[in-house]
Amino acid sequence: MKSILRAVKKRLGVDIQKEKYAYDLDEQFGYMAKAKIPDRWVSTTCGYCSVGCGMFIGVKDGKAVSVRGDAKHPVNEGRLCPKGLAEHYAITAPNRAKWPLFRNDNVKGKFKRMDWDEAVRTMVAHFRDIQERHGAEALGVISTGQLVTEEFYTLGKLIQLGFGTKNFDGNTTLCMASAVSGYKRSFGSDGPPGNYEDLEKADLVFLIGANIADNHPILCYRLEKNPQKILIAADPRVTKTAMMADIYLPVKPRTDIALLNGMMHVILKSGFVNEEYVQKHTRGFEELARHLEKYTPAYVAEITGLSPDMIRKTALLYAKARAPFIGWTMGVNHSTQGTETVNAICNLALMTGNLGRVGASPFSITGQCNAMGTRESGFASSLPGYRKFENAEHRRELAALWGIAEEMIPSSRGLAYPDIIENVLSGRIKGLWVIATNPLVSFPNQAFLRQALENLEFLVVQDGYHPIPTSEAAHLVLPAAVWGEKEGTFTNSERRVSKVNKAVDPPAEAKPDFDIFLMIARELGVYDRLFPGWTKPADAFEEWKKVSRGRLCDYSGLSYALLEQHGGVQWPYPEGSARDPRESFPLYQDGIFQTEDGRAKFWVVENEAPPESPSEEYPFWLNTGRTVEHWHTRTKTGQIPLLNRLSPEAWVEINTRDAKRLKIQHGDYVRLESPRGAIDSITVRVTETVAPGQIFVPFHYAEANANNLTINCCDPISREPNYKQSAVRICKLEPRGAKLRK
């Protein structure tokens, strides 16, 4: 121990004699180390991103004092990224919500405490009253990708069958609805076909709009285990991931479809179409082939800004690869053409027969820790178990499983998240329940959202953190337990279901979301009918296993014990499965898809201009995204000193040439303006990571909110917003706070 301390002191350059505090460093470090030695370790799954790393929470005297990676976990083999390594601090953050709070004297941001019984009675009474006066659909609910699957399953039943409103969606629509819609259109069902193992086994990895180095860091570790692969990254910004690539494709913003169509054109003309696969397992290829005629390398070069040679070379590298993997995230999904871009990716994989095998997959990397859980078991954009609202047989199956009348199950989906907000603005929705999400930072076009929320009669915010911008606008705040304080399961991007465990009690009167949902069900009078005898998440898990039986996402062979034993198991895992639970399992190995005729479908997609482009008045493209140190709107990471010291404030990346022209220097402050709003002051990073005419702002920071600028236009199919391209202008400021000088 002494030698370690000596090394630490040397490294820090600490000279105790010169320290004005003159404290005993040995004692200090010794105390810190002792305080962090846990009494016990509790195994669980990381609660941030969809990589789904296995880890342990160290508990001492009933408090979470440390974390460490689980060396035996199949996803991360002991590694954790900076967020994961500091995750226990999110449990003890000073901004934890501790008591139910009711808006005092109807003054926004001013609250008085309420006990739980009164809070639940108040909530149900207000929502019931709104529904009686304005109809069942006057209640909207916006959930999250942060709950455990058992909670999503319970919540869906509570809202759709208990409150009887269809207007229920998740913040997951803001990040991966286009992947869902794209998969449904191409393959007949949601469900990423590939595995993380593909990153290790593919001979070519093609990442489109996916900055995994910042957003899914442990996947970089999986990639590093495959030194033979060729890594291609297509992105308008030279991200950390682009810097890792063998080939970087600096595409112009929103030109992915042109690139993909151009690659398919080259593959078609060069005779690399897998005709046997196309003939046996797909439909619609002839129409696609006709459409691809015009996407010559020269034509695509004009649109994308890449050279015709580079387009040809990329296409042939993909076509000739033994097992090529295509991964994407928000660069694809955050677009009014997100769904169609996903279809173009699936077209490319289908025409070359590159799916259903280890290494070969079109793979959407999701965002939140359990975005997949809500996709599978939720009751928002589809019926639980990837069933369809429009399918009478699916509704009959569920009605029989739940012992309810078939008519209680809606035959069409309700409003998606952005449409719920539009209906709040128009006054059709009067009551809103927001669960574990923070739209007053994360929703595009904040001015529009703020105006909409003013119209609400009653806003309930259920969250682990308060105050946060959205909870401050609430009439009622329900304090929820967070990761580390509750039990259930998460599904990661590769369909691996992992166990999440409780290590410590929630603070003060905060409760697990599951318990809150059951309390509300009791108050509504639907508990006995919908959740008979349920007391714990395992009750929901057992019912969910029955509901998923025989579906693509079959959980029927899973149990909590099996998940604990193997650190996560991929679905489908039907009862009696002989598969080694740790083995990776690609979907569609038999080439049979979830469509009516079992064939995958090619979609003809055209490259279109985004809803807004730079103009004389607003001459820059704004691109938004994430940084490794923070999580979404910083409700979890904003109070963690370790992460804040690494990334304390927002910044704007501006190209060197633009900076020179505008006489802006690195470290200056500027104001950013779009037709919708402004960031008053933000620090400049002069860099070559963005091209001239483009800027980048991370979207985590409420105080310099990129979503004051973004446009709230959505993909017409998935309803996912077009976060990635907005037109803005840069106004130089004198030193911070000084008068604006345009």
Q: Which residues bind ligand SF4 (CB under 6 A)?
A: 46, 48-49, 51-53, 76, 80-81, 83-84, 216-218
Q: Which phi and psi (to 5°) does residue 63 adopt?
A: -120, 145
The minimum distance between CB 567 and ligand SF4, in angstroms, equals 13
Q: Residue 635 CB, nearest distance to ligand SF4 (Å)?
A: 15
DSSP line for 128-167: HHHHHHH-GGGEEEEE-S-S-HHHHHHHHHIIIIII----
User: What are the tokens at 274?
Assistant: 């897998």
Nearer to ligand SF4, 100 or 567 (CB): 567
By C-beta, is 216 or 511 nearer to ligand SF4? 216
d(Cα 646, Cα 27) in Å, to the nearest integer? 27
Which of the 8 DSSP states describes residue 467? S
The string of DSSP letters for 472-510 reads HT-SEEEEB--TTS--EEEE-TTSEEEEE---SPPSTT-
Nearer CB in complex with ligand SF4: 76/635 = 76
Evaluate whether 495 touches 553 at the Cβ level (below 8 Å).
yes
Measured from the CB atom, the residue of 85 and 435 that comes closer to ligand SF4 is 85
Beta carbons of 541 and 488 less than 8 angstroms apart: yes
Query: Of the two residues 90 and 440, which places its CB atom closer to ligand SF4 in the complex?
Result: 90
Q: List Cα–Cα distances, 264 to 291, 300, 351, 512, in angstroms.
A: 10, 11, 8, 49
Residue placing its CB nearer to ligand SF4 in the complex, 79 or 96: 79
What is the identity of the amino acid at 104?
Answer: N
- Closest to 670 (Cα-Cα) out of 655, 660, 685, 657: 685
CA distance 580 to 281: 28
Instruction: Give whichever of 498 and 710 is closer to ligand SF4, judged by the CB atom.
Output: 498
Tokens in use for 483? 């990761």
Closest approach, Cβ 52 to ligand SF4, in A, equals 6
Residue 568 CB, nearest distance to ligand SF4 (Å)? 12
- Pairing relationship of beta strands 694-698 and 651-655 according to DSSP bridges: antiparallel
- The residue (of 50 and 624) whose beta carbon lies closer to ligand SF4 is 50
| Residue of closest CB approach to ligand SF4 | 84
3-class SS of residue 114: coil
Q: Which is nearer to ligand SF4, 67 or 518 (CB)?
A: 67
Min CB(492)–ligand SF4 separation in Å: 8
79/265 with CB nearer ligand SF4: 79
Q: What is the largest CA-CA distance in the chain?
A: 80
- φ, ψ of residue 124 in degrees (nearest 5): -65, -40
Task: Give the Cα separation of 198 and 362 in Å (integer).
Answer: 10
Instruction: Report the helix count and the strand count for the chain, using DSSP H and E.
Output: 30, 26
CB 99 within 8 A of CB 593: no
**CB of 736 vs ligand SF4, minimal distance in Å:** 32
CB-based contact 251:341 (threshold 8 Å): no
- How many residues appear in the chain? 742
